[in-house]
Structure 1
Amino acid sequence: SGQRWSPILSSELQRSILKQIFDSTQSRTLLGRRKVVTTAAVSEMPLKLHYFDPPGRAETSRLCFTIGKVPYEEVIYEFKTWPEHKAKMPFGQVPVLELEDGKMLAQGGAIERYAAKLAGLYPEDPLKAALADQAAFHMADISELFVPTFRLAPEERVKARQEILAADKFKEKLQQLSKLLETSGEYVAGDKLSYGDVVVFVGLSNIICGFMDGVPRDLLEDYPVLKAYRNRIASIPAIKEFYEKRGEGFRAAFKPDAA
């Protein structure tokens, strides 16, 4: 495990996950409504992040842009109209980042790292970069444990997720992450916030945000190191401000002390 940056999901599985997102949210944001979400000066052709409104696979990129004050806009899709736009995307999926020259960058992991580099959150030092990646890969391994549950019928998902939570593999991976955070210092790649910290924060918050039925919101009570770390990252001014402005629904779990 750890060899994949982010899972490449089949079209059928993507549709299943996205349908669950929109069945579970009251988002009113419509396709084509673009909004600049940083306070920095906007270039003539700002970056455009194509995705859906819930956190999902674009939240790390959103936060990297926000922390680094990188101007960007969002093109937000509704599930019911998404099939009309799917063919326009390089791999028929989102997130996609539309660059200043109109080129389209696909794959969530690639977009995240690009966003992190623009924001100054991807370490230039090779070892520190590897440490940031190490934490991000491990968080991806934890998140991927739940991916198969999205293929199941709604009535089967809760049981499957509860079995994952009770399994030794899941507990071991969270304990390993706790140990990593205990030994790495304030941040996963040294004394400075990095891309790896954003990935871990988003990953932990996604798990407890209520999107996945069967996963308790107080899950991190059994992992005090993870809870304290998540709350500390959530308290970073730029992140805290982001969720003060955009903290409804699933994102309520991304706020400080939500875990």
Structure 2
Amino acid sequence: MTRTVYVNGDYLPETEAKVSIFDRAFLMADGVYEVTSVLDGKLIDFPGHAKRLERSLSELDMPNPVTTEELLEIHRELVARNGIEEGLVYLQITRGAPADRDFAFPDPETTPPTIVLFTQNKPGLAASPVAEKGIKVISIEDQRWGRRDIKTVQLLYPSMGKMMAKKAGADDAWMVEDGFVTEGTSNNAYIVKGNTIVTRALSNDILHGITRAAVLRFAEEAQMQVEERNYSIEEAKTADEAFITSASTFVMPVVEIDGAPVGAGTPGPKARRLREIYLEESRKAAV
């Protein structure tokens, strides 16, 4: 079955979708994106993703070609047309395609933004067997640009980090800057010490995760303590548990860091419980 995708106002078969070679996302990585999960045919945390999208666009002085209401309708239409029960909706907005390549921003009055959306079918997204065994991570130097709070399409180094992890026989990498963990290659990172969830505080250094915000709220509601502070890989190795969060993995236990087991080397009770709570509450609030 050929997917239906959305390009600049049109719903098209994926085989007919085209974007100009002069699009600035292609030439300059001048674009932002969001990924929204779908469970039971409904969108998870959509308001948070829409709000972060607005912030990313504003930080880059890039116009938004659609309203939040229009964006919701496009998401729902793509989910319906592609029959997605569990999966993802990818959204990308770029500064558009001027007549030629230039470092200077084009005039938004004459160069409209490019907007593209497509779905990914992921059966078993919630009941992931990976979550039952946990993942292994390695640590790498964080060599990204300084505005990681903007969700841009500049993903080369995170992709390199994924490949470093794969080469080392691990699943992902935690990035380290000035001796402290920033985040994973495509996720926020946490450790658990007793009844306390520890994660890096929000700043320009990390992405302001939508799943992160929900999970920390659920943790506090479940009488867990939350500390937003820096921590090192050495401290993480001595933690009782560790986990990551993202729109596509929800809450995923981490059982090994740089070859050293975390806690008992199996998914811990706090991470397991937070995953259960997140999935249950997110399904209730899905749109």
User: Which protein is bigger by CA-based radius of gyration?
Assistant: 2
Higher fraction of helix: 1
Note whether the superposition's TM-score is higher than 0.5.
Answer: no
